[in-house]
Structure 1
Amino acid sequence: MSTEVLRTTPRGEPVTARPGGARPARPASPRGARRRFGLLLIAPYLVLLLLFGIGPVAFAFVSALGLSDVRGVLSPFARAIGDFRFLPALTNVAIYLAISLPLMIVGVVALSLLVDTLRRRWAAPLLLVYTLPGAITGAAAVMLWYFMLQPALSPFGPALRAMGFERGPDIFNNSFLVWIFALMAFAVGFGQWVLVVTGALKSVSEELLEAARIDGCSAWQTAVHVKLPLMRRTLLFMLILAFASGIQIFVEPQILHSVAGVGSTSWSLNQLGMTYAFLNGDFGSAAALSMLLFAVCLVVAVFVLVRGRFLDTEHEQ
């Protein structure tokens, strides 16, 4: 007769007890298998992150500090900041941000509030129209704008000529470049942000809106005093990402310089960094410039998060 005794685990699984006090063999833990499978899935991403993310950042940090440069520790930063092209590039980017950021925020808020006031059958097609320009990005968007603003090629040629723009150089000159780039950025990016902000507006409580109507608030007062404060986190998030993207402007001025011959190869800070690295062979100055851009983005992001009370809880608000 067998001396094995049947027992059950806390989960109710049968386990056979061996004679002599030997502990029964436990089934393999599914948690450990899931953990190993999860690590296997993210392993390719971790390898790519190490090779093309952390590795280049570490190399840029070492190069920016001049640790591999026999000419001195601070020389890469000194060469980048002391370059005669640095201040004009910084000025161009600052003016571009001063135009594009308010344009993006005000435009997205206005269009989102417009969509929120429409009935659903009209709001969905309008959102589709808003997102269509964002389907053309990067170099394709720059070329599309180039042909649209050429009086001889554009379907808006008669309107452009009526405003006094007879030839392409009349529009594509250095004084108009920053405005053209700001309009390009808005056309490409506003659609996706309208979707995000409209989604945030849909989460506003109907009871709160009804209370505002009972108190006699007009549609404008409800938008300013009820909806906008509740969109604060979404708008701060948009501001941070738009700033980080704008300070790195590169494709638009680079392609227009190649196609139309306007601007220069150092119109923006990113262009200047590329000039350092691939035309002058000065990777130290290029890395120093990238570290400066990173520091500015980090400081602005922290300032916006703290001053905007982004991390405050709903109860604290």
Structure 2
Amino acid sequence: MTVVSHREDRVQAARSQSSPARSRSRTGSWRPASGHVFVSGYVVLLALFGLVPALYSLYLAFTDASGKFSGVKNFTRSAKDYRFIPAVQHVAVYLVLWLVTLTIFVVLLALVVHRLTSRRTKAVLRFVYYVPGALAGASSVLLWLFVLDPAVSPVSKLLRWTGNDNFAQVIVPNHLPAVFTIIAFWTGAGGWIVVLYGALNTIPTELMEAARVDGANAVQTALRIQLPMLRKWIAYMLILSLAAGTQLFVEPQLVSQASFGIVGNDYSVNQLAYQYAFSQNDFNGSAAISIDLLIVALICAGFFVARGRLFETD
């Protein structure tokens, strides 16, 4: 027994000496460089097209046209613009409608797809949900402008039944947050349904079986097991959707061009920043508005990260 044990010790020592990389990776003192190479492309692009423009916007926001430091004058001047508060209100109403609608219906549809037993039905539904996202943003808006025109819309009877007899009545400013929410949900919800469906598949089968054995029905299982385990994914969805929603531009811009003056070209905050830069030649004021959007997005994202426990490992 002693000879065998000594032989096993020598074999184990030889293995550890022949594969130092493996032993180091187990102890955590060495990490392969392939991971850093894999993410390097994204890091470079993020620095060039994310961090550098943000830093340049900060520089413009705190300087005047001559490049001299101006403090917060650009921020106060843009905030006092009579178009600023209405634009903020428009985007705020849209974001509330968009995020609430997205959370409720995406989670519900993902749970329904996951609950189905037929693999073929699941595959078909995932494909159908994802197809609208293949359309580019501008193409999707143009398609919806066609749908919302009672004169040519395939749902013209429904539009007239709701009291909208012509295109001008459909796209009045009070209707636009709901219209933009419908467009955004139609184009963006499908991808998130697929993401949450994949997250549902990561829930351990033993946990779901235990819930069934304990007599939990579908609603109880969703509320007490699935939704808590989807918290991080929902928070991630809300952060990215919030970032996209604060940059509302394409939809109101196309509507303003198609409405013949009914909707102005300063409906959203991003449109107002565009007007500052390219109509008024005031890049410093435009940068200040952009920084305002960035600050609001970062604060809201921090709230979602904290509530969703996005970076907790337990």
Q: Give the corresponding residue for 1:6.
A: none
Letter in 2 for 1:127: R
CA–CA separation in structure 1 for the residues paired with 2:199 and 2:43:
31
Q: Give how far 1:44 is off.
A: 11
Q: Distance in 1 between matches of 2:73 and 2:194?
A: 46
Matched, 1:222 2:238: no
State, as a whole percentage, how many aligned pairs show the same letter: 39
1:133 CA drift (Å): 1.2
Partner of 2:205: 206
Query: Contact 2:256–2:263 at 8 Å: present in 1 too?
Result: yes
Whole-Å Cα distance in 2 between the matches of residues 205 and 44 of structure 1?
32
Go from structure 1 to structure 2 and tell me whether the alpha carbon gap of 1:213 and 1:162 turns closer, same or farther (over 3 Å shift): same
User: 8 Å contact 2:102–2:189 — kept in the other structure?
Assistant: yes
- Structure with more helix by fraction: 2
Q: Which amino acid aligns with 2:128?
A: V
1:58 corresponds in structure 2 to 55
Gaps of 5+ in 1: 1-9, 12-33
The equivalent residue for 1:124 is 123
Question: How big is the alpha-carbon RMSD for the aligned residues of Structure 1 and Structure 2?
Answer: 2.5
Structure 1 residues 233 and 42: alpha-carbon distance in aligned structure 2, compared to 1, 3 A threshold = closer
Q: Which residue of 1 aligns with 2:311?
A: 311
2:140 maps to what in 1?
A: 141
Please name the residue that 1:105 is paired with.
103
How far is 1:158 from its partner? 2.4
User: 1:188 & 1:137 partners in 2: Cα distance?
Assistant: 9
- 1:78 is matched with which residue: 76, 79, 94? 76
1:20 maps to none
Give per-residue Cα distances to partners, 1:174-220, cap 9 Å, x unaligned.
11111100111111100000000000001111111111111111111
- Report the 3-state secondary structure (helix = DSSP H, G, I; strand = E; otherwise coil) of the residue aligned with 2:174: helix
Cα distance in 1 for partners of 2:206, 2:46 equals 46
Deviation, 1:159, is 2.5
Distance 2:86 2:111 in 1: 38
Match of 2:268 in 1: 268
Deviation at 1:137, TM superposition (A): 2.7
Report the alpha carbon displacement of residue 49 of structure 1 after superposing the two structures with TM.
Answer: 5.8
Return the alpha-carbon distance in structure 1 between the equivalents of residues 220 and 47 of structure 2: 51
Q: Give deviations 1:33-87, integer Å, cap 9, x for gaps.
A: x99xx69x968984x6665444432321111011654583221111111111110
- Specify the alignment match of 2:87 in structure 1: 89
Q: Distance in 1 between matches of 2:296 and 2:216?
A: 41
Name the structure 2 match of 1:191.
190
CA distance in 2, matches of 1:122, 1:174: 40
Task: Give the 3-state SS of the residue equivalent to 1:175 in structure 2.
Answer: coil
Given that residues 62 and 69 in structure 2 are in contact (C-alpha distance below 8 angstroms), is that contact kept between their aligned partners in structure 1? no
TM-score scaled to structure 1, two decimals? Answer: 0.82
Distance 2:107 2:42 in 1: 39
Q: Secondary structure at the match of 1:132?
A: helix
Q: State the SS of the aligned residue for 1:129.
A: helix
Which residue is equivalent to 1:247? 246
Residues 114-167 of structure 1 deviation map (CA, whole Å, 9 limit, x = unaligned): 100112121110111111111113110110000011111111122322333221
Q: Which residue type is aligned with residue 280 of structure 2?
A: N
Which runs of 5 or more residues in structure 2 are unaligned? 1-16, 19-32
Instruction: Determine the structure 1 residue equivalent to 2:28.
Output: none
Matched, 1:278 2:278: yes
Looking at structure 1, the residues matched to 41 and 229 of structure 2 have their Cα atoms a distance apart, in angstroms, of 39
The separation in 2 between residues aligned to 1:305 and 1:58, in whole angstroms, is 24
CA offsets, 1:259-295, max 9 Å, x none?
A: 1233211111100100100000110111111111111
TM-score between both structures, scaled by the size of structure 2: 0.83
CA–CA separation in structure 1 for the residues paired with 2:160 and 2:297: 41
1: CA distance, partners of 2:111 / 2:121: 13
- Tell me how far apart the structure 1 counterparts of residues 145 and 91 of structure 2 sit (CA, whole Å): 20
Task: Give, in whole Å, the separation in 1 of the partners of 2:111 and 2:264.
Answer: 39
* CA distance, structure 2, for counterparts of residue 304 and residue 169 of structure 1: 38
SS at match of 1:310: coil
